[in-house]
Amino acid sequence: MFSEKFNPRFIRSLLHSTPLSLAEVASLVNQYPLNLEQSAFLLSASDNAAACKLVIEAACKLRSARWQRRLFLMPPLYISDGDPGRGGCLDHCVYCPWRNGNIPIQHLKRLPPEAVAFEARHLLSLGYGDVELVAATDSKLLKAERAAEFVKAAKSAGAKNIGINLFPFRQPENYRQLVLAGCTFTIVWQETYQAGIYRKMHPKGPKANFNYRLNAHDRALIGGIKAVGLAFLGGLADWRFETLAAIAHAQYLKEEYGANIIFGMPRWKNGAGIPMKLAPNSYGDQEFEFVGALYSLAVPDSLLWFSTREHFDLSARCAKGGGCMFTLDCSTEVGGYTQKGGFAQFPVYTRSFGEGVKWLQQLGFDPKVNLPW
Ligand code: SF4
């Protein structure tokens, strides 16, 4: 399990690597897959614009050779924002507008499987091939049997790959049930790999258990899931530490299980009723682009997933070369593609399938509607 291998002290020690010269950076970027120490050396050069450029160009070249500018389109389909009898989401994440008690009760919504099938059919009719099912921590969805009904509903609508972004299940056996229902990937963002900050951000609720979440990908992969998504939420903690921790996590899952890796790239954005105010931190657009490039050099077969929290132009710039997942149509309201009156989890950019595909093609990308695995 990753919690037994994860060594924050070692990662912190790597952050004090001596900055490299430009010539050393130029040599190192060609030595992919980079190990953790090499990744830390490149991180130490991240405030040098010329070094950043070398890293970004090398990653773009690598992704272009590996993926021939293919991008994989993935719409999220929100199925529940919580339990109406218990204040909504059972969790209290400080940064999230869906945290317990924040959504007015009249706006809480849970879709039944038939409505999920309807939403999925709508997305597929636009041209998509895969969907990601997303929900808050809902007591009804803590049981794999219930979650499997939603996966089956999306499958019956015709989706090829179905991912789940739900509260992680307890046993590998739970994931076996989901695989049998048609689930092919799971998304569990760790939010932060710094246990102390994690505790502050998740003061109570099921998500408060740091190690339970840290080991979620192990359980899913043991249960037969083939692709897993991991990420830190940019803005909560020191992005350099988080980046190295995410790389260590991905490399472990690859070595241990041969997992296909998706690196999420979410950055925190303010939303309705969030009390938290983050000090502006240094995880700006340049650092964001650099992190994506470093992920590609450290885990060359991985896909990056650019969130619609970001402006499309920034995501397209960071996705150069391909080898990335991309969202066009996006609603973070439950049932938000075919119904009105939901409560958005956070504000997003959205672009229609037809117009978005054309735009990506004009930029030289080759958008695909199914994941490559
Ligand atoms: S991030 Fe997820 S688990 Fe946390 S409050 Fe929001 S919906 Fe609930």
**Domains in the chain, please, with CATH?**
2-368 (3.20.20.70)
CA–CA separation, 42 and 278 (whole Å) = 27
**Burial of residue 11 (number of CB atoms within 10 Å: 0-12, 13-18, 19+):** buried
Tell me the DSSP string of 273-325: T----PPP-S--HHHHHHHHHHHHHHSTT-EEEE-TTS-HHHHHHHTTTS-EE
Percent of all residues in the chain with a pLDDT value above 90, rounded to a whole number:
90
Residue of minimum CA distance from atom 2 in ligand 1? 136
Is the pLDDT assigned to residue 281 strictly greater than 70? no
Q: What is the largest CA-CA distance in the chain?
A: 61
In testing the pocket of ligand 1, which one of 102, 207, 343 has its CB within 8 Å of the most ligand atoms? 207
Q: In Å, how far are 283, 306, 309 from 348, measured between CA atoms? A: 19, 12, 5
With vertex at residue 130, the alpha carbon angle to CA 322 and CA 288, rounded to the nearest 5 degrees, is 40
- Does the structure show a pLDDT above 90 at 255? yes
Mean pLDDT of all residues in the chain?
A: 95
β pairing state of 76-80 and 366-368: unpaired
Express each pLDDT in 169-205 by its tens digit.
999 999 999 999 999 999 999 999 999 999 999 999 9
Could you tell me the end-to-end alpha-carbon distance of the chain, in angstroms, rounded to an integer? 24
What pLDDT band is residue 342 in, cutting at 50, 70 and 90? Answer: confident
pLDDT at 201: 95
| pLDDT-derived band at 279, boundaries 50, 70, 90 | low
Q: Which helix (H) or strand (E) holds 218?
A: helix 216-222
Mean pLDDT of 44-69: 96
Mean pLDDT of 214-231: 98
Distance 205 CA to ligand 1 centre (A): 10
Q: Which residues contact 326 (CB under 8 A, 6 or more apart)?
A: 71, 72, 73, 74, 305, 306, 315, 319, 360, 367
State in Å: Cα 12 to ligand 1 middle.
Answer: 28
Contact 62, 302 (CB under 8 A): no
Instruction: Specify which residues 232 forms β-bridges with.
Output: 191
- Tens digit of each residue's pLDDT (9 = 90 or more) over 316-340: 999 999 999 999 999 999 999 999 8
pLDDT tens digits, 82-130:
999 999 999 999 999 999 999 999 899 999 999 999 999 999 999 999 9
Does the CA dihedral 174-178-184-187 come out positive or negative?
Answer: negative
DSSP 89-111: SS---TT-TTSTT-S-GGG--B-
What percentage of residues in the chain have a pLDDT greater than 70?
99
Residue 313 to residue 349: CA distance in whole angstroms: 11
Q: Coil, strand, or helix at residue 193?
A: coil
Asked if 104 and 95 count as a contact pair (C-beta separation under 8 A), the reply is: no
Q: For 291-312, what is the mean pLDDT?
A: 96
Ligand 1 binding pocket mutation candidate from 80, 81, 93, 346 (most atoms within 8 A of CB): 93
Angle of the 172-181 helix axis to the 144-157 helix axis, nearest 10: 20
**Beta strands in the chain, from DSSP E residues, in sequence order:** 70-73, 76-80, 131-135, 162-165, 183-187, 227-230, 260-264, 303-306, 324-326, 366-368
Cα 222 from Cα 252, distance rounded (Å): 14
Rounded average pLDDT over 224-241: 96
Q: Give per-residue pLDDT as tens, 6-37.
A: 999 999 999 987 889 999 999 999 999 999 99
Partnered with residue 164 across adjacent β-strands are 133, 186
Report the separation in Å between the CA atom of 63 and the middle of ligand 1, taken as the mean of its atom positions: 32
Q: Report CA(137)–ligand 1 centroid distance (Å).
A: 7
Determine how many CB atoms are found less than 10 A away from the CB of residue 208: 16
Q: Rounded mean pLDDT of 265-282?
A: 77
Residue with tokens 């773009």: 60
User: Is the CA virtual torsion 335, 341, 343, 349 positive or negative?
Assistant: positive
Q: Which residues line ligand 1 (CB under 6 A)?
A: 89, 91, 93, 96, 98-99, 136-137, 207
